[in-house]
Amino acid sequence: MRSFLTLGQFIIENQKDFPYAKGELSRLLRDIGIAAKLVNREVNKAGLVDILGSADATNVQGEEQKKLDVYADEQFIQALRSGGECCIVASEEHEDIVCIDSHISSTAKYVVCIDPLDGSSNIDVNVSVGTIFSIYRRISVDGKATLDDVLQQGDRQVAAGYVIYGSSTMLVYTTGKGVNGFTLDPSIGEFCLSHPNMKIPESGQIYSINEGNYIKFPQAVKNYIKYCQEEDSASNRPYTSRYIGSMVADIHRNMLLGGIFLYPSTSSYSKGKLRLMYECNPIAWIIEQAGGKAISGEGRILDIKPETLHQRTPAFLGSKAMVEKLEEFIAATN
């Protein structure tokens, strides 16, 4: 029988690589892994809620049944609160920062930005969803952590990852020393190292974009899409279009097969849809750590200076050669 390294074992073995190795970041990652398992359990029975729940949407314990994105948010915040390593959370589910005021976390050093259940509109139709997280060291030295602790540039992340609740559930993360992927083995309830040292192919044949918005895209993006669709045997075009509408799932596929994911500005939304702090920054760092490229159209995503918690940015991420080709189109229209 093959033996796998579990996420817990892997974290401990690699703890020495962390810049401030005292075990706190390891424990934080472990806490996120535990919450992910709880969320996975609920996501897996999403279709059963109407069958098992009573008409007034209460479960057998008499608790009100929550929407899964609210449930996921509660699980992650609860795990971070009881773990004691995180002082402040920025979540897609909360307009303001969530300060974790407990006797344990007053000295906690880490800040977590999280999208607890990204692509949650896909749950009702049994399509993959994900969790995206980003971890920073707190800047302030004492007192209560503040918004300034959260609004750090993406290149200051100390860990970032995503969980994909798909046909199998995977946790993929980086601490700046490459990217490793762990698949949840439901029979033992452990994430096991299945994709060590993930590398995104240098180029690919998949482009992922919501083409329904085509008319609203900037000219450079329209030109690039046309390029993807043109026939050219030397570069294996036309490319294949694949868009799930769940960023984690689209990114994960492109990580494995090679490809580019695009969410540009549109004539309706000048910054696109995706949020910088808990969607674009963590995914951008993972893509870069896997050898790919992640840009906003005006430079590297990780170089953006954040101004507000829920700010948005156009995002183009994926195989290096494909993103660089897109950059040529952007340069040509500027």
Binding-site residues for substrate, in ranges, read 118-121, 210, 243, 273
Question: Which span sits near ligand AHM by CB under 6 A: 100-108, 215-223, 244-252, 319-327?
Answer: 244-252
Reduced to 3 states (helix: H, G, I; strand: E, B; else coil), residue 154 is helix
Q: How far is the CB of 311 from ligand AHM (least distance, A)?
A: 14
Each residue 89-118 as x (binds Mg ion by CB under 5 A) or -, in order, gives --------------------------x--x
**For residues 263 and 8, what is the distance between their CA atoms, to the nearest angstrom?**
34
**For residues 42 and 37, what is the distance between their CA atoms, to the nearest angstrom?**
9
3-state helix, strand, coil in the chain (%, to 5): 40, 25, 35
Closer to Mg ion at the Cβ: 85 or 115? 115
Beta bridge partners of 134: 113, 160
**For residues 85 and 96, what is the distance between their CA atoms, to the nearest angstrom?**
20
* Residue 120 binds: one of Mg ion, ligand AHM, none (C-beta under 5 to 8 A by kind): ligand AHM
Token pair for residue 53?
């729940």
Q: How far is the CB of 77 from Mg ion (least distance, A)?
A: 16
Token pair for residue 298?
């005006």
Q: In 3D, which of 134, 138, 155, 154 has the Cα closest to residue 146?
A: 138
> For tokens 């995180």, what's the residue?
86
Each residue 65-84 as x (binds ligand AHM by CB under 6 A) or -, in order, gives --------------------
Closer to ligand AHM at the Cβ: 145 or 301? 301
Separation in Å, CA 143 to CA 98, 109, 110, 118, 320 = 15, 12, 14, 32, 42
> For tokens 């699980």, what's the residue?
75
Do 121 and 67 meet the contact criterion of CB atoms below 8 Å apart? no
Closer to Mg ion at the Cβ: 145 or 164? 164
Each residue 90-129 as x (binds ligand AHM by CB under 6 A) or -, in order, gives --x----------------------x--xxx---------
Task: Choose, by CB under 6 A, the member of 53, 178, 245, 291 that binds ligand AHM.
Answer: 245
**For residues 172 and 160, what is the distance between their CA atoms, to the nearest angstrom?**
9
Closer to Mg ion at the Cβ: 24 or 118? 118
Closer to ligand AHM at the Cβ: 123 or 322? 123
Helices (H) then strands (E): counts for the chain: 9, 13
Kindly tell me the sign of the dihedral angle through the C-alpha atoms of 275, 302, 256, 167.
Answer: negative
Q: How far is the CB of 161 from ligand AHM (least distance, A)?
A: 15
Q: In 3D, which of 256, 246, 241, 240 has the Cα closest to residue 291?
A: 256
User: Counting contacts by CB under 6 A, is residue 273 touching ligand AHM?
Assistant: yes
Query: CB within 8 A of 298, min separation 6: which ones?
Result: none
Question: Which span sits near ligand AHM by CB under 6 A: 16-24, 36-44, 241-249, 287-295?
Answer: 241-249
| Binding site as annotated, residues for Mg(2+) | 92, 115, 117-118, 279
Q: How far is the CB of 70 from Mg ion (least distance, A)?
A: 14
Q: How far is the CB of 293 from ligand AHM (least distance, A)?
A: 18
* Residue 210 binds: one of ligand AHM, Mg ion, none (C-beta under 5 to 8 A by kind): ligand AHM
Q: What is the binding site for ligand AHM (CB under 6 A)? A: 92, 115, 118-120, 210, 245-247, 273
Binding residues vs Mg ion (CB under 5 A): 115, 118
